[in-house]
Structure 1
Amino acid sequence: MDRLRQSLLDAPLIQKGDYQYFVHPISDGVPMLEPGLLREIVIGIIRKAELEDVDKIVTPAAMGIHISTAVSLMTDIPLVVIRKRQYGLDGEISLSKETGYSESEMYINDVHPGDKVLVLDDVLSTGGTLLAIAEALDSIDADIRDIVAVIKKAGENELDGTKYEVKTLINVTVEDDEVVITDEHGDG
């Protein structure tokens, strides 16, 4: 994970209120995402995730899409994108997600009882999005085989103390105007 590590160490920081926020191609789409970094992340996910018998990759829009698309292409596992727009299709499930930054509705289509799913996301920060997704998938009676986030921001999150475990590729925090790697191998 040399490229991922270095890209995080080089990530620009911006101030959002009292919060220092790193800007990264995986979590923000800027700066530009280099193919080598995406390839390294996809290989890391494939090595870390439980993929046996997985029927579908499930990811929230928008920043999970590029990672999940690449994993889908490498594994031939179909991709389901959880959207912020309601389509009204048969079987559509609504979920409310609340993060440290916003609250909104999201919609899951094409996941059915018994589907074996891998949940992928870009960043685990507050855990609000991943918790809402995991609970919605449980309500559908989908079988969550694994949950993977590329980057975990240090600190407590809403998944702590729940039955849901999230594997990560790298864990970071922001201290004294710089990104600090707290665990180069992530969780799980």
Structure 2
Amino acid sequence: MDRLQQSLLDAPIIEKGDYEYFVHPISDGVPMLRPELLREIVIRIIRKAEIENVDKIVTPAAMGIHISTAVSLMTDIPLVVIRKRSYGLDGEVSLSKQTGYSESEMYINDVEPGDRVLVLDDVLSTGGTMAAILDALTEIGTEIADVVAVIKKAGPNELDETDYHVKTLINVTVEDGEVEIIDAMGDD
């Protein structure tokens, strides 16, 4: 069993209303993120993602940053972080995101029409954040080379009825207070 699988099986579960939520170093920054786990994830992303001729890695703040930074360092592809606050810079694009438990505005800077981008994120759950990001990037006129989320929480999500496809490294569900691995290899 690889480190990612074991770390998810060991993840504590908390409840937010009716939502069972796993607490994991990739999605929450706690418990501590060990370098060997991050390294394993980055290698798997680089092997799975279409990175040829990618101009920029795009990731939402905050929990995509550590993964995307590590991928950027290993591939020399510049990183753009979609922020939760406006900086008012020329070309800034606003988007609304909605998840299973929150709604907010996010802001994209430094992405231009014609840019070929790799979108990375930590978890695909409801698909609300990813759908809003992909819609905004498409509206800007970027070419989305690939989309990868490390962990997919199994079940329907907002991307199911779209043309967007998200590759994942592992697919899980939370049942009766425990993480269950649905597909250890994720989606291609």
TM-score > 0.5 by shorter chain: yes
Q: TM-score, normalised by structure 1?
A: 0.99
Q: Bigger CA drift: 170-179 or 143-152? A: 170-179
Counterpart residue number, 2:39: 39
Distance 2:175 2:101 in 1: 20
Report the Cα distance in structure 2 between the residues aligned to 1:17 and 1:105, rounded to whole angstroms: 23
Q: Distance in 1 between matches of 2:137 and 2:46?
A: 21
User: For the residues of structure 2 that align with 1:21 and 1:112, how far apart are their CA atoms?
Assistant: 35
The answer as to 2:69 corresponding to 1:69 is: yes
SS in 1 for 2:21: strand
- Percent identity reads 81
Q: What is residue 91 of structure 2 aligned with on the other side? A: 91
Deviation at 1:177, TM superposition (A): 1.8
**Structure-2 separation of matches of 1:131 and 1:93:** 15
Provide the aligned length of Structure 1 versus Structure 2. 188
Deviation at 1:68, TM superposition (A): 0.1
Shift of 1:175: 1.0
Write out the 4+ residue segments of structure 1 that deviate beyond 2 Å after TM superposition: none
CA root-mean-square deviation: 0.7
- Alpha-carbon displacement from aligned partner over 1:55-102 (angstroms, at most 9, x marks no partner): 000000000000000000000000000001101101000000011111
CA distance in structure 2 between the aligned counterparts of 1:76 and 1:57, rounded to whole angstroms:
10
Residues 23-34 of structure 1 mapped to structure 2, 5 A cutoff = 23-34=23-34
Name the SS of the counterpart of 2:84 in structure 1.
Answer: coil
**Which structure 2 residue ranges, 5 or more long, are not aligned?**
none
In structure 1, list runs of 5 or more residues that go unmatched: none
Q: What TM-score, normalized by structure 2, do the two folds share?
A: 0.99
- Matched to 1:90, the amino acid is D
What residue identity is the alignment partner of 2:33? L
Q: CA deviation at 1:16?
A: 1.5
1:123-159 CA-partner distances (Å, limit 9, x unpaired) = 0000000000000000110000000000000100000
